[in-house]
Structure 1
Amino acid sequence: MKTRITVAVLTFALVVYFWLLGQRGFYLLETGTVVGISLGIGVLILPVIGVVLVVFELRFGAATARLARRLAQDDELPDDEGLTRRPSGRIERASADAYFETVRTRVEADEGNWRLWYELGYAYNLAGDRKRARAAMRTAIELAGR
């Protein structure tokens, strides 16, 4: 629930920011000068790009949360309890890498299993590779939708 509130607050803040940015863009367009119109068009493009990115991120988060709920219903959420932790509570890199290797091997054996791809994304995240974690989660979302 905390995450949803945080996402809602941040999304609201972005909407307000995009609204204010859009107002400035229209103000620049109204100047009637070549420079003002050019800058106004540029400024108006930014909120459009921002809205598209926010929508993509919200859809990705919702799809990932749906998969997590499905795994939780079946009591199959990835478990990191056996991994070695630092005093701060963070998982040690060597332990995360070893976990990643075992999951990667299982995914290679069954590439059509969305549950394994979800776990691979989780393992990538533990190993600190956010880009590949997101890519693995996208694959899990795609496979689960079939």
Structure 2
Amino acid sequence: MRTRLAVLLMVGLLVLYLVFAIRYGVLLIGVGEPVAVGLGVALFVLPLIAIWALVTELLFAVQAERLGMKLNAEGGLPAEELPLRPSGRIDRAAADELFPKYQAETEAAPEDWRTWFRLGLAYDAAGDRRRARWATRQAIRLSRI
């Protein structure tokens, strides 16, 4: 629930940003000076990039959540209980010990989205967010085939 509220807050802030950016972009273009016109145009382009990034991230999150729910319904989520540090985060050493299992599983069945999703969870538990997202994207891509 907290994540959804955070997403709604980000969308609200983006909308507020768009309103001000477009308003100031129109004002700057209306000045007629080349530098002001250039800045005004930039104020139209930058929000488009922000919208694209937000939509891309939201689609990724929705698709990953759907795959996670589907895998959970199938009983395919990892069952290991990893120890937590006092901060509440997963102990990386314990996650690193489990990682080869999921890597071997993915190498044995590279066309199965389930193995890629579990590998993404293993990367995430090990603290490698970039590879976790990459593996999850592979799972999403393979689930569509």
**TM bucket, shorter chain:** over 0.9
Is the Cα–Cα contact under 8 Å of residues 117 and 136 in structure 1 kept in the other structure? yes
Residue of structure 2 in register with 1:108 after alignment:
107
CA distance in structure 2 between the partners assigned to 1:140 and 1:124 by the alignment: 13
The answer to whether structure 1 residue 49 and structure 2 residue 43 are counterparts is no
Q: CA RMSD in A?
A: 1.4
Residue ranges of structure 1 left out of the alignment (5+ in a row): none
Alpha-carbon shift at residue 25 of structure 1 (Å): 1.4
Alpha-carbon shift at residue 79 of structure 1 (Å): 3.5
TM-score by length of 1: 0.92
Alpha-carbon shift at residue 80 of structure 1 (Å): 4.3
Is the Cα–Cα contact under 8 Å of residues 18 and 50 in structure 1 kept in the other structure? no
CA distance in structure 2 between the partners assigned to 1:8 and 1:80 by the alignment: 33
* CA deviation string 1:47-105 (max 9, x = no partner): 01001111111111111111011112122223441x23222222122111112221111
Structure-to-structure mapping, 1:97-136, within 5 angstroms: 97-136=96-135
Structure-to-structure mapping, 1:1-146, within 5 angstroms: 1-81=1-81, 83-146=82-145
Alpha-carbon shift at residue 8 of structure 1 (Å): 1.8
Alpha-carbon shift at residue 16 of structure 1 (Å): 1.4
3-state DSSP class of the match of 2:31? coil
3-state DSSP class of the match of 2:3? helix
Is the Cα–Cα contact under 8 Å of residues 84 and 95 in structure 1 kept in the other structure? yes
Residue ranges of structure 2 left out of the alignment (5+ in a row): none
